[in-house]
């Protein structure tokens, strides 16, 4: 038994703390208290260890009237007094660190209502801090509580009895009011706080929700029987303003990427989290940087044809610089026709063809005149630089000439009169055929594509039957040879499609026979995760979750949760259908990742919710390796002699 106890004494003991909710502490102190600095340092060391979901506020009662009022609410008898989670545990005077850790652990194990607090802060400059707080009630009853949003300085303006600044000292409440939230509802707060002269990098907001019901507790040694009504903490979250970013720049006015004018103008604007933005700019290769100033526009005149790049820089009040640029081409040459369809001299052109003319530049659409000989009625459509002509009735075995007149660019350069001719085909009596169908007896991921051998009549005429019926819409591309069917609503299941003889080409020829195929639809699911349940992972690890379908990324990200989510910073990125989660995990903790109700691009919800848990490895203690000393050598000799003596005694 003694040997067993000796062995156990040298075995390392490891444990994993499962965090349930953040713990909140109010440390009541004064600037004249001799023992308060020691308590302050203990709380700061626990906070800095990042081993516990823990926030605290120092209530310097002889410097802050707000802190004094809170001390009176809690009937504080003496200093220092630490009230954990609104009074669930109270520690009076200075104790060893273990007692404070035990108090935190006891608060962690408390049962708390299911409330989701989210807090964002932003520095607005000139002592203004903006914050947005949302509180969601996940319980099945109406929640009643008291909300306090503490505004604290991590390094206080006030100093303790040792002459050192307090930590997280209270300045004021940003919110201090009763709230009521119905089951399943969310309430929001958005305000700007600016009551003190504060610094952006030394301010923090802590939102704490106290329950409505009270319980009698004691804030000092029990023999004095100094009670107060404790309202325990139900939820807690903290936030500091994010780092200052460089200015955001944008062009308000700029030339097109290819312009036919020799004079160009730029106009811009810049915004920053704090203060005004100064600007500097240059036309690369043609001038040096202009001095920093408030100018927000510039014009350049009589530029030669060629490529240019305009570069704009913005600088904020702390010297951070951002840059944007715009590349453009000055081209004052006359426009050209890049191609025509049909080509000049083409034969056997279907009488239901469309005529296409692609130009080299952006054209003045109102100036162009079109003539077709022999005359036919037509309509036109522009798709960027492509002019599409739809003849209403062409004859078989006829030569047509298309003439473009008065065509000019938006910038005014003109195109000489241009003509091309083509000959239509004789009457077609050959029925159309199917070249391909996608998907064919496979899963439908997006749309149905049916490719025909020739241009088709764009009205379906009961040409498609889908069983079971599902609403859809359709369109034609590639000169009416490609039919694209888009379902209006996706439902999981198997579907059969029949293409009937009512599908006809432009000449009225129908399919020779009905053609059938099928497709099926399944709900999205998780195909692969690079983490196993219960696995221990390194602190910096990228979690990969592969989905079976293309997902609605916003839906996935909004329905993803990482628990416990206390001060966790994580980035989400996508690579095809794989979601990558990069998280700055805390060591020695257990985490859950959950995805529920996420939808794919077809608006189909996941087949079933996803959940996985894992552990983050603890910090490895590294000790200096030493050479065995003389004492170790003597101990080894003694053990050898004892073993030999025991062997001889047995004999």
SS3 (DSSP) at 120: strand
Residue 644: predicted pLDDT? 63
* 439 vs 636, higher pLDDT: 439
Residue 409 CA to chain centroid, in angstroms?
43
Residue 572's alpha-carbon distances to 195, 542, 566, 595, 606, in angstroms, are 37, 10, 17, 14, 19
- Preceding amide of 342 cis, omega within 30: yes
Answer whether residue 140 shows pLDDT above 70.
Answer: yes
Judgement on whether residues 98 and 173 belong to the same structural domain of the protein: yes
Chain segment 70-87, per-residue pLDDT in tens: 999 998 888 999 999 999
Distance separating alpha carbons of residues 139 and 137, to the nearest angstrom? 6
Confirm whether 233 is domain-assigned.
yes
Q: Is residue 27 part of a domain?
A: yes
Same domain for 581 and 602, yes or no, is: yes
What's the rounded mean pLDDT across residues 458-486? 92
**Domain closes at, from 424, 448, 483:** 424
Res 284 pLDDT > 60: yes
Q: Are residues 71 and 86 in the same domain?
A: yes
C-alpha to C-alpha distances, 365 to 337, 373, 380, 523, nearest whole angstrom: 14, 21, 11, 47
- Which residues lie below 8 Å from residue 632, measured CB to CB, with a gap of 6+? none
- Cα 460 to chain center, whole Å? 43
CA distances from 212 to 136, 145, 180, 203 (A): 17, 5, 10, 29
Where does a domain end: 302, 330, 358?
330
Q: How far apart are CA 591 and CA 538, in angstroms?
A: 13
Give DSSP secondary structure letters for 581-625: EEEEPPTTBEEEEEE-S-BBTT-PBPSS-EEEEEEEPPPPP----
Are β-strands 610-616 and 535-537 bridged in parallel, bridged antiparallel, or unpaired? parallel
Average pLDDT over residues 607-622: 79
Angle CA 149–152–157, to nearest 5: 155
Edge-first strand order for the sheet with 493-499 is 442-443, 515-521, 493-499, 464-467
Phi and psi, residue 369, nearest 5°: -115, 140
Q: Give me the domain span that covers residue 150.
A: 23-239
Q: Is residue 374 part of a domain?
A: yes
DSSP symbols for 250-282: EEEE---SEES-S-EEEEEEEE-SSS--EEEEE
623: in domain: no
Q: Which pLDDT band holds residue 11 (cuts at 50, 70, 90)?
A: very low
More confident residue, 178 or 635: 178
Residue 20 has pLDDT above 70, yes or no: no
Same domain, 366 and 495: no
**Which has the higher per-residue pLDDT, 591 or 297?**
297
Rounded Cα distance, 255 and 267, in Å: 10
Q: How high is the mean pLDDT of the chain? A: 88
Backbone phi and psi for residue 27, each to the nearest 5 degrees, phi listed first: -100, 105
Pick from 44-53, 220-229, 574-583: least confident: 220-229
Tell me whether residue 140 is in a domain. yes
Which residue, of 184, 208, 239, is where some domain finishes? 239
Is the pLDDT score of 242 beyond 70? Answer: yes
222 and 257 together in one domain? no
If DSSP codes are grouped into helix, strand and coil, which group holds residue 541?
strand
- Whether this model's pTM surpasses 0.75: no
pLDDT band with cut points at 50, 70 and 90 for residue 3: very low
Pick from 214-218, 245-249, 307-311, 554-558: least confident: 214-218
2: pLDDT strictly greater than 50: no
420 shares a domain with 324: no
**488 and 543: one domain?**
no
Quote the pLDDT of residue 264: 97
CATH of the domain at 34: 2.60.40.10
- Residues 152, 153, 158, 161, CA torsion sign: positive
Query: How many helices (H) and strands (E) in the chain?
Result: 6, 44
Beta pairing partners, 172: 151
Q: Give mean pLDDT, residues 471-495.
A: 93
Q: Which regions of 453-567 does DSSP assign to beta strands (E)?
A: 464-467, 472-477, 482-487, 493-499, 515-521, 526-529, 535-537, 540-547, 560-563
Give the CATH number for residue 459: 2.60.40.1220
Name the CA radius of gyration of the chain, rounded. 38
CA–CA dist 412, 263 (Å, integer): 14
Q: Which residue has the higher pLDDT, 98 or 571?
A: 98
Mean pLDDT of 513-533: 93
Tell me how far CA of residue 507 lies from CA of 268, 395, 455, in angstroms.
57, 12, 9
**What is the structure's pLDDT at 618?**
80
| Number of C-beta neighbours around residue 243 at 10 A | 9
**Residue 324, both tokens:** 């944007």
Could you give the CA distance from residue 619 to residue 233 in angstroms, rounded to a whole number?
30
DSSP H helical ranges for 264-406: none
Six-digit token string for 429: 């009596």
The percentage of residues in the chain with a pLDDT greater than 70, rounded to a whole number, is 90
Tell me what pLDDT residue 218 has: 63
Query: Smallest Cα–Cα separation from 154: which of 241, 73, 280?
Result: 241
| Number of domains into which the chain is organized | 5
83, 205: one domain: yes
Mean pLDDT lowest for which of 153-157, 516-520, 564-568?
564-568
On whether residue 202 sits in a domain, the answer given is yes
- 399-405 and 442-443 as β-strands: parallel, antiparallel, unpaired? unpaired
126 and 97 both lie in a single domain: yes
649 is a domain residue:
no
The answer as to whether 34 is a domain residue is: yes
Q: Give the pLDDT of residue 571.
A: 85
Position 32 pLDDT exceeds 50: yes
CATH of the domain at 583: 2.60.40.3710
The β-bridge relationship of strands 81-84 and 89-92 is antiparallel
Note whether 88 and 129 are same-domain residues.
Answer: yes
If one compares 382 and 245, the residue with the highest pLDDT of the two is 382
Q: What is the pLDDT of residue 12?
A: 34
Q: Answer yes or no: is pLDDT of 177 > 80.
A: yes
Q: Do both 589 and 479 map to the same domain?
A: no
Least confident of 241-250, 295-304, 327-336: 241-250
Contact assessment for residue 380 and residue 357, using Cβ atoms and an 8 Å cutoff: no
Mean pLDDT of 303-317: 95
Cα angle, residue 127 at apex, residues 124 and 130 outer, rounded to 5°: 40
Q: Cα–Cα–Cα angle for 632, 634, 635, nearest 5°?
A: 60
Could you report how far apart the first and last alpha carbons of the chain are, in Å?
A: 25
In contact, 447 and 477? CB cutoff 8 Å: no
pLDDT of 180 reads: 95
Which residues pair with residue 144 across a beta bridge?
A: 180
- Whether 253 and 371 map to the same domain: the answer is no
pLDDT of residue 220: 61
pLDDT at 586: 82
Handedness of CA 254, 256, 257, 260 (dihedral sign): negative
Report the C-alpha gap between 199 and 197 in whole angstroms: 7
Q: What is the 3-state secondary structure (H, E, C) of 77-106?
A: CCCCEEEECCCCEEEECCCCHHHHHHHHHH
Q: What is the residue whose two structure tokens read 């700029």?
A: 254
Does residue 567 carry a pLDDT above 70? no
Report whether pLDDT(460) > 60: yes
Confidence at 643, pLDDT banded by 50, 70, 90: low
pLDDT digits (tens, 9 = 90+) for 353-386: 899 999 999 999 999 999 999 999 999 999 999 9
């Amino acid at each position: 038994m003694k040997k067993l106890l000796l062995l156990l004494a040298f075995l390392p003991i490891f444990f994993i703390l499962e965090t349930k909710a953040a713990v909140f502490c109010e440390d009541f102190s004064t600037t004249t208290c001799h023992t308060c600095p020691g308590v302050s340092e203990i709380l700061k060391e626990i906070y800095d260890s990042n081993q516990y979901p823990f926030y605290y506020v120092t209530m310097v009662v002889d410097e802050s009237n707000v802190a004094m009022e809170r001390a009176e609410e809690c009937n504080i008898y003496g200093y220092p007094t630490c009230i954990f989670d609104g009074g669930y545990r109270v520690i009076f005077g200075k104790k060893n660190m273990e007692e404070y850790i035990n108090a935190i652990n006891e608060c962690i194990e408390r049962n708390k209502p299911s409330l989701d607090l989210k807090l964002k802060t932003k520095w607005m400059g000139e002592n203004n801090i903006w914050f947005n707080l949302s509180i969601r009630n996940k319980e099945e009853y109406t929640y009643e509580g008291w909300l306090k949003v503490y505004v604290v300085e991590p390094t206080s303006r006030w100093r303790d009895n040792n002459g050192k600044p307090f930590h997280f000292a209270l300045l004021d409440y940003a919110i201090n009011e009763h709230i009521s939230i119905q089951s399943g509802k969310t309430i929001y707060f958005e305000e700007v706080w600016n009551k003190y002269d504060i610094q952006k990098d030394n301010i923090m907001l802590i939102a704490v929700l106290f329950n409505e019901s009270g319980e009698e507790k004691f804030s000092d040694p029990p023999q004095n029987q100094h009670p107060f009504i404790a309202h325990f903490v139900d939820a807690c979250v903290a936030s500091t303003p994010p780092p200052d970013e460089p200015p955001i720049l944008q062009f308000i006015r700029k030339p097109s990427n290819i312009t036919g004018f020799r004079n160009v103008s730029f106009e811009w604007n810049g915004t920053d989290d704090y203060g005004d933005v100064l600007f500097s700019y240059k036309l690369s290769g043609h001038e040096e940087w202009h001095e920093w100033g408030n100018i927000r526009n510039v014009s350049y005149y009589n530029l030669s044809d060629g490529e240019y790049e305009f570069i704009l820089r913005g600088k904020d009040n702390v010297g951070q610089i951002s840059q944007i640029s715009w590349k453009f081409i000055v081209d004052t040459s006359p426009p050209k026709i890049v191609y025509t369809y049909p080509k000049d001299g083409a034969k056997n052109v279907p009488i239901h063809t469309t005529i296409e003319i692609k130009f080299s530049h952006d054209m003045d659409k109102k100036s162009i005149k079109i003539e077709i000989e022999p005359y036919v009625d037509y309509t036109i459509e522009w798709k960027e630089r492509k002019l599409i002509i739809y003849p209403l009735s062409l004859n078989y075995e006829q030569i047509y000439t298309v003439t473009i007149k008065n065509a000019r660019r938006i910038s005014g350069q003109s195109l000489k009169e241009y003509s091309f001719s083509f000959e239509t085909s004789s009457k077609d009596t050959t029925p159309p055929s199917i070249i391909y169908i996608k998907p064919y007896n496979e899963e439908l991921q997006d749309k149905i594509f049916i490719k025909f051998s020739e241009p088709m009549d764009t009205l379906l005429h009961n040409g498609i039957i889908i069983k079971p019926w599902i609403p859809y819409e359709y369109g034609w591309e590639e000169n009416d040879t490609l039919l694209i069917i888009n379902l209006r609503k996706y439902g999981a299941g198997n579907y059969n499609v029949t293409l009937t003889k009512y599908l006809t080409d432009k000449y009225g020829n129908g399919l020779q026979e009905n053609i059938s195929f099928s497709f099926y639809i399944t709900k999205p699911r998780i195909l692969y995760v690079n983490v196993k349940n219960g696995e221990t992972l390194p602190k910096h690890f990228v979690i990969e979750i592969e989905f079976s379908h293309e997902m609605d990324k916003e839906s996935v990200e909004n329905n993803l949760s990482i628990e416990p989510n206390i001060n966790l910073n994580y980035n989400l990125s996508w690579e095809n259908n794989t979601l990558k989660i990069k998280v700055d995990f805390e060591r020695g903790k257990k985490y859950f990742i959950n995805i529920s109700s996420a939808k794919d691009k077809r608006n189909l919800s996941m087949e079933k919710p996803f959940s996985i848990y894992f552990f983050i490895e603890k910090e490895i203690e590294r000790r200096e390796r030493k050479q065995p000393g003389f004492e170790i050598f003597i101990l080894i000799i003694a053990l050898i002699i004892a073993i030999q003596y025991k062997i001889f005694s047995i004999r």
